[in-house]
Amino acid sequence: MKAILTELMTIRSEMVAETGVASTRSNSIHPNYSMSAINLLHYLTLRRRDLRPLQHRLAKVGLSSLGRAESHVLAAIDAVLEILHRLAQKSWQPPLTETPVPDFSSGPRLLAEHTKALFGPTPHKRAARIMVTMPREAADDYMLVHDLLQAGMDCMRINCAHDDAAAWLRMIEHLKRAKQVLGRPCTIIMDLAGPKLRTGPLERGPEVVRIRPCRDSYGRVITHARVWLTSATAPCPPPSPAQASLPIAAAWLARLRVGDRVTLTDAREAKRTITIVNVTEQGCWAEATKTTYVIPGTVLRRQALTTDGGSDETVVGKLPSRENPIILRQGDLLVLKRDYKPGRPATYDSAGQVLNPASISCTIPEVFDDIRSGESMWFDDGKIGGVVEKIAHNEAFIRITQARPSGEKLRSNKGINLPESNVRLAALTSSDLENLAFVAEHADIVGLSFANSSCDVESLQQHLALVGHRPPSIVLKIETRRGFENLPEMLLTAMRWPSCGVMIARGDLAVECGFERLAEVQEEILWIAEAAHVPVIWATQVLETLAKKGMASRAEITDAAMGQRAECVMLNKGPHVLRAVRVLSDILQRMQTHKTKRRSLLRELSLAKARPAEHR
């Protein structure tokens, strides 16, 4: 007992000393967070040591093991110390602190107040908010926004990496209208794009389209291939999905009739026939029963049911070319180039030996100043991984260490992660600064993407102070290893602002920290944020297959339920996102009676009501 008392008194003394250090920066902390900043420093002091042996000893004597002390650290320590002193038959009162600190009731209350300040009023029937990323269609479809709000959306997310200010404004106007109609609140968060590092362009492949019908297991055609024929001079997109869209002469197109057969010799010298099945003012629909490869200049011959005296031949016009992806396997070499020239796959000699390795550029060449040999590099959300072997002449040579045995395709505009590199890129790009005036005028919250340091947070605060009289709240998007490691300092800087939050952007964060570490990393973020009384957004791939394909996996349902420990859960866009909102709302309502933050709530258990049958 004496050893426990001594250790806890030592911990308390260290915390009080940290409070003194905190007073030097208290003038810069916003009054909303004065107690929260101190509590965060207390928590960081507590967690600098391995508490597991102490927790075990406390639990053995029936005392709190400090496992749920995040929101009121010093109060929790003092409560245990008071009991220990009584057990030791000593009188003890917690010394008065120079500055107020949160207690068992005020700690959770501060988090609730900060959550309301960030997201608005608490929704009906559940505490956790639902954030929904707006698809492009939301700019032109009022009913989509209306239905999302009605289903339970509490926060509209607009990603400034996509679309433009005109589209964003239409989304916002749709939300304003829906809020008036439904009488429901909903905040707006606009995420700045930030310096997202991506792969550069690739060489284009040949202009060729493949037309292929669907066949059964026996090779019999079960669905004909649909081909859209349109004018080469005034092309119209197909009104419904098509396997190919072929531009041809308008005069020849106008003479086509339902039932006409069109013959051609495709790129493989194979004789093929397509049949006209529908004629419209915008173009014609044709069907094919055999696989056909069409290139520009392919001659089409009309075999008409009636003779009209017109030409029976035309040629296919210009077709879109597809990029030539790079296929990478373990052991391959990839050259990352500083210039922005199109990349290309590796070339081989007749014996299969590499003549020139694959190469590709990147969208932010400045990173070449910060990468070093031996550091890891990941592509396309972690599907492809490698190690930098050497850097020479504005080129980085990367040996591929992670890819499927059959190979992975690397395409343009795919993300690049440098988790071990000290990349010195400002979080705000020139494009972000251009958009900031619009964001400050229309958004309730601005999301700072790729927040890596307190300097990034300071920069955003300074620019926001210049562009608007109503500065929006700030959310720090934690999506890099540096951002995770610097989170405490960034939070203390964010606390200079009236309202702030944290987003666990689990996509890039998993690549940066390692997929196997993601679970513990998100736990630590939740702990630190609760100690700071800062609300958390649980983001990336929540109910993703439900939103995109209409059916959630079992693992996704469990993940969504775990999101209850955050103050907000984010859904990404998808054709079934409306159903995803309803399902997520139901899950969150159910889970809030079982768990709040890290504490299990012992509501009555239905399983306990059924009496076991007597043993016979």
> What are the per-10-residue average pLDDT scores of the chain (616 residues)?
90 86 68 95 93 91 90 95 91 83 95 97 93 96 97 97 96 98 97 95 93 93 95 94 95 93 96 96 96 96 71 90 93 95 94 94 94 96 96 93 95 95 92 95 96 96 88 96 95 96 95 92 95 96 94 93 94 96 95 77 59 54
Answer yes or no: do 592 and 449 share one domain.
yes
> CA triplet 275, 312, 292: central angle to 5 degrees?
40
Which long-range contacts does 490-494 make (Cβ < 8 Å, 24+ apart)? 490/451, 490/453, 490/454, 490/456, 490/457, 491/40, 491/528, 491/529, 491/532, 491/534, 492/25, 492/29, 492/37, 492/40, 492/454, 493/454, 493/457, 493/458, 493/461, 494/457, 494/534
| Secondary structure of 244-290 as H, E, C letters | EEEEECHHHHHCCCCCCEEEEECCCCCEEEEEEEEECCCCEEEEECC
Answer yes or no: do 582 and 509 share one domain.
yes
Nearest Cα neighbor of 367 from 451, 424, 452 is: 424
Query: Is residue 309 classed as helix, strand or coil in its secondary structure?
Result: coil
Give the largest CA-CA distance in the chain: 114
Inter-residue contact 375 to 386 (CB < 8 Å) = no
Q: Domain holding 221: CATH number?
A: 2.40.33
Q: Is position 431 within any domain? A: yes
Calpha distance 529→212 (Å, rounded) = 54
Answer yes or no: do 377 and 481 share one domain.
no
Answer yes or no: do 582 and 476 share one domain.
yes
Last residue in a domain, options 84, 104, 124: 104
Calpha distance 261→287 (Å, rounded) = 10
Q: Is position 614 within any domain? A: no
Q: Which residues contact 589 (CB under 8 A, 6 or more apart)?
A: 125, 126
DSSP 8-state assignment for residue 202: B
Question: What pLDDT, on the 0 to 100 scale, is given for residue 616?
Answer: 45
599 Rama sector, left if φ>0, alpha if ψ -120 to 50, beta otherwise = beta
Q: Which residues contact 564 (CB under 8 A, 6 or more apart)?
A: 128, 587, 588, 591, 592, 595, 596
The residues with which 299 forms a beta bridge, in sequence order, are 315
Last residue in a domain, options 104, 120, 152: 104
> CA triplet 200, 203, 204: central angle to 5 degrees?
120
Question: What pLDDT, on the 0 to 100 scale, is given for residue 99?
Answer: 81
Q: Is position 340 within any domain? A: yes
Calpha distance 517→348 (Å, rounded) = 39
Answer yes or no: do 261 and 349 share one domain.
no
Query: Is residue 376 classed as helix, strand or coil in its secondary structure?
Result: strand
Q: Domain holding 531: CATH number?
A: 3.20.20.60
Inter-residue contact 493 to 464 (CB < 8 Å) = no
Q: Which residues form the domain of 355?
A: 326-417
Q: Is position 615 within any domain? A: no
Into how many domains does the chain fold?
4
Calpha distance 229→284 (Å, rounded) = 5
Q: Is position 342 within any domain? A: yes
How many other C-beta atoms can be found within 10 angstroms of the C-beta atom of residue 566? 25
Q: Is position 611 within any domain? A: no
Residue 2, amino acid: K
Exposure pattern of 93-107 as b/e (b: 16+ CB <10 Å)?
eeeeeeeebbbeebb
Query: Is residue 215 classed as helix, strand or coil in its secondary structure?
Result: strand
Question: What pLDDT, on the 0 to 100 scale, is given for residue 27?
Answer: 67
Q: State the helix-helix crossing angle for 2-22 and 73-87, rounded to 10 degrees.
A: 150
- Measured in whole angstroms, the distance separating CA 500 from the mean position of its chain's CA atoms is 19
Question: What pLDDT, on the 0 to 100 scale, is given for residue 602?
Answer: 56
Calpha distance 534→526 (Å, rounded) = 9
Q: Domain holding 342: CATH number?
A: 2.40.33.10
Inter-residue contact 418 to 377 (CB < 8 Å) = yes
Answer yes or no: do 399 and 430 share one domain.
no
Ranges of beta strands (E only) in 440-598 are 445-448, 473-478, 500-505, 536-539, 568-571, 595-596
For the chain, what is the radius of gyration of the CA atoms? 31
Answer yes or no: do 402 and 447 share one domain.
no
Answer yes or no: do 221 and 311 share one domain.
yes
Answer yes or no: do 274 and 340 share one domain.
no
Q: Is position 607 within any domain? A: no
Answer yes or no: do 469 and 535 share one domain.
yes
Q: Which two tokens stand for residue 274?
A: 């397509």
Question: What pLDDT, on the 0 to 100 scale, is given for residue 153?
Answer: 98
Answer yes or no: do 496 and 588 share one domain.
yes
Calpha distance 115→500 (Å, rounded) = 9
Nearest Cα neighbor of 159 from 572, 595, 600 is: 572
Q: Is position 51 within any domain? A: yes
Calpha distance 206→323 (Å, rounded) = 9
For 417, list phi and psi in degrees, rounded to 5: -120, 135
Answer yes or no: do 482 and 576 share one domain.
yes
Last residue in a domain, options 54, 70, 104: 104
